[in-house]
Structure 1
Amino acid sequence: MKVLIIGGGGLIGQKLAKALAARGRLRGDVISSLVLTDLVDPAPVDAPFPVEKRRCDIADRASVDALIDADTDVIYLLAAVVSAHAEEDLDAGLNTNMLGVLNVLERCRSLGTKPVLVFTSSIAVYGGEVPDPITDHSFLNPQTSYGAQKAIGELLLNDYSRRGLVDGRGFRLPTISVRPGKPNRAASSFMSSILREPLNGQEAVCPVGRDFPHYYLSPRRCVENLIRGAELEAEALGQNRCMVMPGRTWTIGQMIDAMTAVAGPAPAKLIRWEEQPDILRIVSGWRYAFEPKKALALGLEADESFEDNIRYYLEDDLPRG
């Protein structure tokens, strides 16, 4: 079993690689090798099998062709230009989030090996006039370029799966929090930084009010779901290979209260409230009421509480020393 993680240098890619290394198996087979690829060399991962690090730009078809070979059994396509960046730079978003997905699919088509392809989409594919709550049968109506590009990727994944060119499955990720590391260019980045930085003893800025609601999932649970998603049989997925990954809706105030319940009152005092219109314009169009019945029926799970999200960060990702 050869596994490829495109976007293997990112947060979820690295955590997924470590989880696969600990498991040693996927889809009932022993993992024989793992390839991690990104625009720059991913960090190394210790594993009981060979782990190869590669550079690849999925916007470049030749780079993709050199990366994916006929021995690749499972591909995780995690790489993306994130929301605010895709909104600022239409070409960057189109090249990676749309053409990059097409390049991966076309390489799989040319090989004729029908690998399992796990694609991470986003709840940003919803918006506008879609009624609440959003269900498995709600139509896609993105209100950002990022959401539109992800929706196009989903349609391509479904069509290539229908044709038998890949065995695809796509998961619309909730906002992942609490993310370790540094803020990125995603509009949702503050949804981690307002917790991560205070837990690290640093000040953070919150650009929205305490009553702002959103749909969340922890990094730990996301990785567990991605592994489970790869192991689903094609027959269980039905005619639509894409679905919302389970999460839960909390307000900013509830998240901060959860942090206080776990870590005490000091971190919340480091949050400064400053409205940022550019961020608010993007995130106010996002939806937060979801009923992910299909994914739940297939065995994917949400976090039990946001206190758990805080505990997972403290256990897995809090900088030591």
Structure 2
Amino acid sequence: MKIIVTGGAGFLGSRLIRALLANAGQNGVPAFESILSVDLAPCPVKDTRVASVTGDIADADFARSVIGADTVAIYHMAAVLSGQSEAEFDVGMRVNIDGTRALLEAARAVGTAPRFIFCSSLAVFGGEMPEVVPENLALLPQSSYGAEKAIGELLVGDYSRRGFIDGRVCRLPTIVVRPGKPNSAASSFASGIIREPLAGVASSCPVPLKTRMWLSSPDAVVKNLVHALNVEGAKLGINRVLNLPGICVTVGEMLESLERVGGTAPRALVSEAPEQRIIDIVCSWPGDFDVSRPLALGFTRDSDFDSVVRQYKDEFVR
């Protein structure tokens, strides 16, 4: 048996692969024989059970070549992120819609209904929203990325209804703090205003400090993605969509945590520099969710944002 992880070369994908390896045959993870990372670059995880293949997931022949009858689960994490999807419409549509459909068709073709964990986003929401978003709020994305993810969610739901796959849609909170360089996500600043100052580098905040964000540490998200493999489809019923638990924090509160954990010097390195393009995208996203259902299903969340900053500082700041 094998597990496939698209986007397995990335920070979150490689972290998920390590977690799956650590839980093989326990905690609800099947005793798989191998993990196949599917990405545009080789997976950095060095383990005899991990193999890498590079290619275009929107190519139907390529998608069929990586998914076989021995595939027990597929984590679909590969995507063109929000900023690039908005700037390059055709690229976003090809990867985020055509790629998802190609993978679903490949999974359908094997005839074994593998578990299909689709990583979605809170960008599927937009417009007027209540203070706390309920599970049944209608989708109204205000970006091409959000529209592409919403389409993917509907496809996963229908392929599950038809019995082609056993799907789970996991809407990820904004993941903070990501190490490394900024990426093309509109929310990339949320890591940058913590990561760069802790390294002694100046950073700018493009949104108002009162902006509420729905956040999760990488460790909490990965733990929840592993758990998603364990949840039985019967417990999900016809609603295969889960808003993964996060914590609601304003950008100003994030900077207060930075000062408490890192000191006054890092906080002084963050300046306010409004950027309308980022404001239009990020401020259309909800900042808080009713996650009583996923919590009842065994998903978890961070205790507070101080612990998120401390987790990053302890692991990555030297």
TM-score using structure 2 length: 0.96
1:39 lines up with 2:40 in the alignment: yes
Between the aligned partners of 2:254 and 2:215, the Cα distance in structure 1 is 10
With 83-92 and 123-132 compared, the bigger mean Cα shift is at 123-132
- Could you list the runs of 5+ residues in structure 2 that have no partner in the other structure? none
1:122 lines up with 2:112 in the alignment: no
Between the aligned partners of 1:173 and 1:143, the Cα distance in structure 2 is 17
Q: Match for residue 11 of structure 2?
A: 11
Within-5 A mapping of 1:118-197: 118-197=117-196
SS at match of 2:264: coil
- Could you list the runs of 5+ residues in structure 1 that have no partner in the other structure? none
- AA partner of residue 20 (structure 1): L
1:62 lines up with 2:73 in the alignment: no
How many residue pairs were aligned? 317
Between the aligned partners of 1:296 and 1:16, the Cα distance in structure 2 is 20
- AA partner of residue 160 (structure 1): Y
Q: Match for residue 29 of structure 1?
A: 30
**Kept in 2: contact 1:18–1:46 (CA 8 A):** no
- AA partner of residue 297 (structure 1): A
Within-5 A mapping of 1:201-240: 201-240=200-239
With 191-200 and 56-65 compared, the bigger mean Cα shift is at 56-65
**Kept in 1: contact 2:224–2:300 (CA 8 A):** yes
- AA partner of residue 135 (structure 2): D
**Kept in 1: contact 2:8–2:43 (CA 8 A):** yes
Deviations 1:11-70 (A, max 9, x none): 110111111222233635323111112112221x244x5210110211111111111111
**Kept in 1: contact 2:2–2:72 (CA 8 A):** yes
With 145-154 and 56-65 compared, the bigger mean Cα shift is at 56-65
Between the aligned partners of 2:220 and 2:11, the Cα distance in structure 1 is 13
Cα offset for 1:130?
Answer: 4.0
**Kept in 2: contact 1:125–1:150 (CA 8 A):** yes
- AA partner of residue 160 (structure 2): S
**Kept in 1: contact 2:29–2:229 (CA 8 A):** no
SS at match of 2:37: strand
- AA partner of residue 286 (structure 2): R
Between the aligned partners of 2:96 and 2:30, the Cα distance in structure 1 is 31
Between the aligned partners of 2:202 and 2:25, the Cα distance in structure 1 is 41
Within-5 A mapping of 1:235-254: 235-254=234-253
**Kept in 1: contact 2:182–2:189 (CA 8 A):** yes
Between the aligned partners of 2:128 and 2:210, the Cα distance in structure 1 is 22
Between the aligned partners of 1:198 and 1:60, the Cα distance in structure 2 is 41
- AA partner of residue 128 (structure 1): G
**Kept in 1: contact 2:20–2:29 (CA 8 A):** no
**Kept in 2: contact 1:56–1:67 (CA 8 A):** no
**Kept in 1: contact 2:23–2:29 (CA 8 A):** no
- AA partner of residue 165 (structure 2): V
With 99-108 and 292-301 compared, the bigger mean Cα shift is at 292-301
Between the aligned partners of 1:130 and 1:261, the Cα distance in structure 2 is 32
Cα offset for 1:313?
Answer: 0.8
Within-5 A mapping of 1:53-92: 53-92=52-91
Between the aligned partners of 1:97 and 1:299, the Cα distance in structure 2 is 29
Deviations 1:246-275 (A, max 9, x none): 111111111111121112211111112211
Between the aligned partners of 1:6 and 1:158, the Cα distance in structure 2 is 19
Deviations 1:169-196 (A, max 9, x none): 0111111001111101110000000100
**Kept in 1: contact 2:33–2:49 (CA 8 A):** yes
- AA partner of residue 80 (structure 1): A
Between the aligned partners of 2:210 and 2:77, the Cα distance in structure 1 is 31
Between the aligned partners of 1:87 and 1:75, the Cα distance in structure 2 is 27
> Percent identity at matched positions?
42
Q: Match for residue 273 of structure 2?
A: 274
**Kept in 1: contact 2:29–2:226 (CA 8 A):** no
Within-5 A mapping of 1:93-132: 93-132=92-131
